[in-house]
Amino acid sequence: MKNPTLLKEMLDYRGRDEMPDDFDTFWDKQVVEVEVPQDYQLLEKDFQIAYATCYELTFKTGNGGQIYAKLVVPKLSEKVPVLFHFHGYMGQGWAWADMLAYTAAGWGVVSMDVRGQSGYSLDGNREVRGNTVKGHIIRGALDGPDQLFFKDVYLDVYTLVELVAGLDFVDENRLSSFGGSQGGALALVAAALNSRIKQTVAIYPFLADFRRVLEIGNTSEAYDELFRYFKFHDPFHETEEQLLRTLAYIDVKNLAHRISCPVQMIIGLEDDVCYPITQFAIYNRLAGEKEYHLLPEYGHEAMNVRVSDTVFNWLCGTKIKRLSLISDFKSER
């Protein structure tokens, strides 16, 4: 992205729509009604790793899902801090080996498979009106926020944090969340719904500012289902306002004001999947300590090793160098 005018717009942009009047009431009610499962299973894996213990964590949720997560913890005598990792759309959690770098630094790591995607978590049975091809964003949207697929995923995230925080070997006062794309969105959701999260890193977060996505047009597979919905199910857009009102309850920009912990966001300015301006709609609504880092040459792709090292150092407590490369635009505000 080389457009200076758009860069300036992003620095103040808060999204195309405001959140529903009952948004916080809706989510407060959802969270209060969650019952943290006591019959979870924590199965130790026989990996023979000298400095870490690996577990498979599974639990059932009140909304019909069965959630699977990997958990790796260092072999220490004291309680350990924990990083919650969330994966990208249609993917699955980290491989065991991906988690060991953080464990070597003294952190436990949890990586959850999102229900109904490529991992081991299972979605509950649900009746759905409308198309379901590439349909996780819009699934349930015709029947109100209670029926949204991602509403259930967000509650899975909340439940996971509560469950892990209660484990005997976990320091519940040192919990962090991290992810990219869908994972970046869920890392922010974890902090928005659960104040136990004390720091968050979100890389090019997904699921934000749906009306702006529609206005930009269909350029990516990730948001393709929004456009397929109208093209094949509602070509006259008769349900557009109803759909957008319902999707507002899972729009991450609307959850941003609930986050009180420090947030680091990394944004590739060439991103044509999760558009930078939609990411700034999240960032500009964050009320607490926050910092963004811009990568002008990057799109929605794997990051350079220096970026990965920067994230690792920030999460593990090392102060990182500011990466923003358009400070000149900030100075003109």
Catalytic residue among 85, 87, 293, 300: 300
**CB burial class (10 A; 0-12, 13-18, 19+) of residue 221?**
exposed
89 known ligand binder: yes
Catalytic residue among 123, 136, 271, 293: 271
300 is an active site residue: yes
Catalytic residue among 111, 181, 251, 293: 181
Distance CA 292, CA 268 (A): 11
Q: Which amino acid, residue 210?
A: F
Provide the b/e sequence for 261-299 (b: ≥16 CB within 10 Å): bbbbbbbbbebebbbbbbbbbbbbbbeeebbbbbbeebe
Cβ-proximal residues to 160 (8 Å cutoff; 6+ apart), any chain: 67, 69, 84, 110, 112
Please, which contacts does 99-102 make with residues 24 or more away whose CB atoms are closer than 8 Å? Answer: 99/70, 99/72, 100/49, 100/52, 100/72, 101/312, 102/72, 102/312, 102/315, 102/316
Kindly report the number of other CB atoms within 10 A of residue 28's CB atom. Answer: 13
Cβ–Cβ under 8 Å, residues 121 and 79: no
Distance CA 41, CA 62 (A): 16
Three-state SS for 42? strand
Cβ–Cβ under 8 Å, residues 87 and 93: yes
Distance CA 25, CA 22 (A): 5
Chain position carrying tokens 């019959």:
39
Query: What residues are annotated to the active site?
Result: 181, 271, 300
| Feature table: binding site for substrate | 89
| Feature table: binding site | 89
